[in-house]
Amino acid sequence: MGEPNRRVLLGSALAGTAGLALTGRAVLNPSPAQSQVPAPSGHGGAHGGAAGPTFRIGQTVDHAANGFNPTQVLRDFDYGTTTRLPGGRTVREWEIYASDEDLEVAPSVRFPAWTLNSRIPGPTLRCTEGELLRIRFRNGSEHPHTLHFHGIHTAEMDGVAGLGAGIIKPGQSTTYEFDATPFGLHLFHCHVGPLAEHIARGMYGTFIVDPPQPRPLADEMVMVMHGYNTTFDGESNQLYAVNGIPFHYMHEPVRVKRNELIRIYLVNVLEYDPINSFHVHGNFFDYYPTGTRLQPSEFTDTIVQGQGQRGICELRFPHPGKYMFHAHKSEFAELGWMGFFEVSE
């Protein structure tokens, strides 16, 4: 599918309708839910006028039916439950389950997702370096899955086929156990082939290991950059998003306070495109690649990440007002990857 075609494919949705067409390309593991995707209503081109190419004012997805809202995902850190070993070491535990969910990813556009804890992205797990971590994984999906964590651990806990528990079949479960190290911003995702499809369908989440001495207090938030290959051709995306729903933060801007330290945990899990990027208007930020060092690598307003790359952005807004943020690849922005910070006193 060529670059111009995917823009035209979503043209009706971006121009104010909810249309979306499937192409004649081969579909990977077709699902009955795909037949529910409506055809275009006749509008052409991904144009939205001076107001921007967002969905028609008043048109949003049904967050309650989806079971998650990107505004809540933004600041939702899952610390699990903790106990103490006799020697005083903290054991931190989580329960994660895989399931198949029919999600509304744009107004009247449904996507047969494979999810972790019934949302895209999956949970943001948070711990402190040196803790012992236990993640109980239950596969309630109709497809085989694993959990692969970025970090340092034994081969048996790597979440790949043929090692340790290997592939977890539908209805089965396992427990991953390893030390929280190194400190920084990491991610986890399914590692079952075809990898591209498992990731593109939604099998990923954020994994934060805090340093032993906490970072300075800040208004903290997670932004997971990703896309939706709604045609299932395995070649490109027709929608781009942060935290699940395209254009969400245009409808519900991220509210922050003037001069307050803002810390963004930025993760790129975009499939089918080689890079992604983050740009903020009217400001610059300190950037900490992977968050494994306490000194920033640069002071900038735009950062580029390949798939699996991540980093921490820290900034303060000196002036009140609304400031756009988006991918600095125009196509991604115009197909959903954009939003606003709303800065107040």
What pLDDT score does 18 carry? 35
Amino acid at 161: A
pLDDT of residue 51: 58
Which class for 85: exposed (0-12), middle (13-18), buried (19 or more C-beta within 10 A)? exposed
Mean pLDDT, the chain, whole residue set: 88
Split at pLDDT 50, 70, 90, the class of 13 is very low
Task: Identify the pLDDT of residue 37.
Answer: 37
Confidence of residue 94 (pLDDT cuts 50, 70, 90): very high
pLDDT of residue 59: 84
Helix (H) or strand (E) holding 334: helix 330-334
Pairwise CA distance, residues 220 & 171, whole Å? 36
Q: Which of 300, 229, 310 is nearest to 264 (CA)?
A: 310
In sequence order, what E strands does the chain have? Answer: 81-84, 90-106, 109-116, 124-128, 132-139, 148-149, 173-179, 184-189, 204-210, 219-228, 239-242, 254-257, 262-268, 275-280, 285-289, 298-300, 302-306, 310-315, 321-326, 338-344
Question: What is the C-alpha to C-alpha distance for residues 122 and 214, in angstroms, rounded to an integer?
Answer: 24
Task: For residue range 151-162, list pLDDT tens digits in order.
Answer: 999 999 999 999
Whether pTM > 0.85 for this model: the answer is yes
Q: What is the CA radius of gyration of the chain?
A: 20
- Whether pLDDT at 25 is above 80: no
pLDDT tens, position by position, 187-230? 999 999 999 999 999 999 999 999 999 999 999 999 999 999 99
